[in-house]
Structure 1
Amino acid sequence: MARPSSKHASLKLVLICLALLGFALIADYIWASSSRFSYSLSIASNWAPPYHPDTSIPVTTKPDSANPTKGEAAKGGKDVNPGRALSATFADLPAPELTWKKMTTAPVPRLDGAAIQIKNLLFVFAGYGTIDSVHSHVDVYNFTDNTWGGRFDMPKEMAHSHLGMATDGRYIYVVTGQYGPQCRGPTAHTFVLDTETRQWQDMPPLPVPRYAPATQLWRGRLHVMGGSMENRHTPALEHWSLAVKDGKALEKEWRSEIPIPRGGPHRACIVVDDRLYVIGGQEGDFMAKPGSPIFKCSRRNEVVYSDVYMLDDDMKWKVLPSMPKPDSHIEFAWVVVNNSIVIVGGTTDKHPQTKKMVLNGEVFQFSLRLQQWSVIGKLPFRVKTTLVGYWDGWLYFTSGQRDKGPDDPSPKKVIGEMWRTKLKLIL
């Protein structure tokens, strides 16, 4: 049999090499595509997994001799100081250590709930238990004896998260918000609660529904500003007000006011010395995934900001010094103490590499006299949507969603823990 020529053998060898090279390139492309797809899934959502009471996140603490036992911690026993190590990688700001004591945990964990303090009582409303479940009741914390009790139901038509809320010292006005779990739609319903009788009454609905609008009582009117529009993502600029007195609306319709300079949800809105302040917040938020029968939350781009605005006597917005860092999810994370605004936790700009949400672990002070911000302490862990109160020299916070650990500021577990620290402010 004749042997093939060397020319044909060389051609055959070249073809084999080209085939092998092509196979290698195709395999490499498939692997790279798979990796990118897996990475995109890993950053698509920052919601916590379903809450399991027996699951805990370790917190670095003092030596065992300084730690309370499990039973003592539940009763608010000995002091603990988690001593969380800050990492510049995640943009934590240097802050003084605070000694935190763990008090009695709330009856349920809450994310995006709401809270109003009246005297020695903290009324804690609604919120997510998990992304698939929401609360429709109010729990009450008594600062005098540090106990939870007095649960009562909310109206069936009332929103379960992203509420606007304000009080005159007896009546609590509740405006709009999201109705249901995941990323369901908002409602325009508005209610008022008499905290002495625990009775609810209807109020005129907001002109259109909103998510987490800045809400406050100012000069006899209930002001509602900004928030997110009905798609949950687009920032709203509208500003409405309604005359109210002693838990009753004095008008049948909301009045249009000067628009807020920058829209968006999750901001602190505070009245001090007859001045209305709007602090922090964000533009953009999670949206319902198109076509999802359960309105499954889908991540969208958010821009967190540090802006501070004040509405003056001429009903014009004035720009004030910005916060030390961008901060959102702080609508009920504030108290006013000794002519200062104190803000606890929140969220800041997303991580530059992972693109995940980054939680804040600082306590900020804004001196109204100096018109100046400072960082006055750090929390036992980073946490957003805290519900904050102040009583007898103690700063309290409860609920929210905490970080994954000292070295990972992205959100994980929804909590119901209550913590407090002695607060000493330099004016």
Structure 2
Amino acid sequence: MARIGGKNASRKYLVVLSCVALLGIALVADFLWASSSASASSPYWSTNLDFSVRNEVSADAASKAEQEKKSKPLKDQISRSINATFADLPALHLDWEEMAEAPVPRLDGAAVQIKNLLYVFAGYGTIDYVHSHVDVYNFSDNSWGERFDMPKEMAHSHLGMTTDGRYIYVVTGQYGPQCRGPIAHNFVLDTETKTWNDLPPLPFPRYAPATQLWKGRLHVMGGSKEDRHEPALEHWSLQVKDGKALEKEWQTELPIPRGGPHRACVVANDKLFVIGGQEGDFMAKPGSPIFKCVRRSEVVYSNVYMLDDGLRWIDLPPMPKPDSHIEFAWKIVNNSIVIAGGTTEKHPVTKKMVLVGEIFRFNLDTLEWSIIGRMPFRIKTTLVGFWDGWLYFTSGQRDKGPDNPSPKKVVGCMWRTKLKF
């Protein structure tokens, strides 16, 4: 009897186990069916599923496949969600007229206006070729005429430059193409006799410093140091008159609050203004025999500083947006500073440089900024003149098109518009 009871108990135990197993199989099958349904509809699950598959292939191949898979949809998403012209500010339409093109295209050149003549200096023709001459534009007959050479020892781009109405003072700058460093050699040009003379060298070379004549002294401040990248704060001055230095050495002045190159430097109403600019720039690749340019971090800013008595810098209202590469892109018109083009902060997604196409006005009576119009295209390091009510600009590097504000072609075109405000 005991043995019979044991057999019955074993049979019951096997039946129970079979039922449990069947129930477990059913639950697993149900779970798998639900999971497969979720994988078809849930992006989160789909991502995890893709990850589990990638574990079965090499990490390099998986990474490459994933990048190829995502590259096109990401570009499409960027083009749909962020317009490339995001940095453009509302501006009035202006009627522009294209004039005679400059003899050569220029990037990072320099220019000063004396009466009806615009003297255009140096600059890159290409990244591997720099100009070493001066072209002159005559606003009276709207034509390019005279051309003459610069001294062989003079820098070719990123110059500091200003004029007293006859003499043009040329300070430091980059010597040679690509990303060579600056030199400390300075010159003065007599525009009536077309003769060049030396000025005392700067204490240290500077790249694209802010430069102006103020209170009988030639002021040089900021810019970048010898590596083209590190911002400089130093401020020096030299007493000059009629194209000659009255001192043998530069005098140390009040350092500028924020260093860096590519700024507008203006004297108006017996005050000195320094506007916009950036910190950082391209540098030479270490060990490169041709000083090949490589990009470094840059910060473009909108700061405006005024030196009213030589003893203190005063913060003024900032520009409507950060703006750099404007050192020769300004003119004084009707007691206002007018600035055309430049570069602003990089595109937030592509990280590419963004050019500026607005024309800004700083009212010296109210110390207020406004936008008075738009250029025919965005452009940086353009060279600006004003004559008989017309605002002119020539040279620089323009954008890739209306929907792409990144830089492309170096140009020598000349445009003008009738300015009214």
Give the TM-score of the pair, scaled to structure 2.
0.83
Task: Please show how residues 83-162 of structure 1 align to structure 2 within 5 Å.
Answer: 89-162=85-158
Contact 1:90 1:358 in 2 (8 A): no
Q: CA deviation at 1:23?
A: 2.2
Tell me which structure has the larger Cα radius of gyration: 2
Secondary structure of the residue aligned to 1:227 is coil
Whole-Å Cα distance in 1 between the matches of residues 250 and 100 of structure 2? 41
In structure 2, list runs of 5 or more residues that go unmatched: 1-51, 72-81
Partner residue, 1:378: 374
Contact 2:85 2:405 in 1 (8 A): no
Q: Which letter maps to 2:327?
A: E
Distance 1:112 1:209, change over 3 A: same
Of the three residues 318, 321, 326, the one matched with 2:317 is 321
Whole-Å Cα distance in 2 between the matches of residues 227 and 34 of structure 1? 42
Contact 2:54 2:62 in 1 (8 A): no
Partner residue, 2:56: 22
Tell whether 2:237 aligns with 1:203. no
Whole-Å Cα distance in 2 between the matches of residues 32 and 251 of structure 1? 66
Q: CA deviation at 1:273?
A: 1.2
Q: Which letter maps to 1:355?
A: K
**Structure with the bigger percentage of helix:** 2
Whole-Å Cα distance in 1 between the matches of residues 239 and 139 of structure 2? 32
RMSD: 1.9
Contact 1:120 1:144 in 2 (8 A): yes
Contact 1:211 1:227 in 2 (8 A): yes
Distance 1:354 1:153, change over 3 A: same
Contact 1:90 1:409 in 2 (8 A): no
Partner residue, 2:341: 345
Whole-Å Cα distance in 2 between the matches of residues 398 and 288 of structure 1? 28
Q: CA deviation at 1:220?
A: 0.3
Contact 1:305 1:328 in 2 (8 A): yes
Q: CA deviation at 1:282?
A: 0.1
Deviations 1:272-305, CA, capped at 9 Å, x for gaps: 1110000000000000011111111101110000
Whole-Å Cα distance in 1 between the matches of residues 215 and 239 of structure 2? 9
Tell whether 2:356 aligns with 1:360. yes
Whole-Å Cα distance in 1 between the matches of residues 54 and 189 of structure 2? 74
Partner residue, 1:46: none
Deviations 1:345-366, CA, capped at 9 Å, x for gaps: 0000000001010000000000
Distance 1:19 1:322, change over 3 A: closer
In structure 1, list runs of 5 or more residues that go unmatched: 1-17, 38-85
Secondary structure of the residue aligned to 1:27 is helix
Of the three residues 190, 193, 207, the one matched with 2:189 is 193
Percentage of identical aligned residues: 76
Whole-Å Cα distance in 2 between the matches of residues 140 and 416 of structure 1? 13
Contact 2:84 2:404 in 1 (8 A): no
Distance 1:214 1:355, change over 3 A: same
Deviations 1:283-333, CA, capped at 9 Å, x for gaps: 000000111111111011100000000001252100000000000000000
Whole-Å Cα distance in 2 between the matches of residues 150 and 36 of structure 1? 56
Secondary structure of the residue aligned to 1:29 is helix
Q: CA deviation at 1:28?
A: 1.3
Tell whether 2:306 aligns with 1:272. no
Tell whether 2:284 aligns with 1:250. no
Highest relative contact order (Cα 8 Å, sep 6+), 1 or 2?
Answer: 1
Q: Tell me how many residue pairs correspond in the alignment.
A: 360
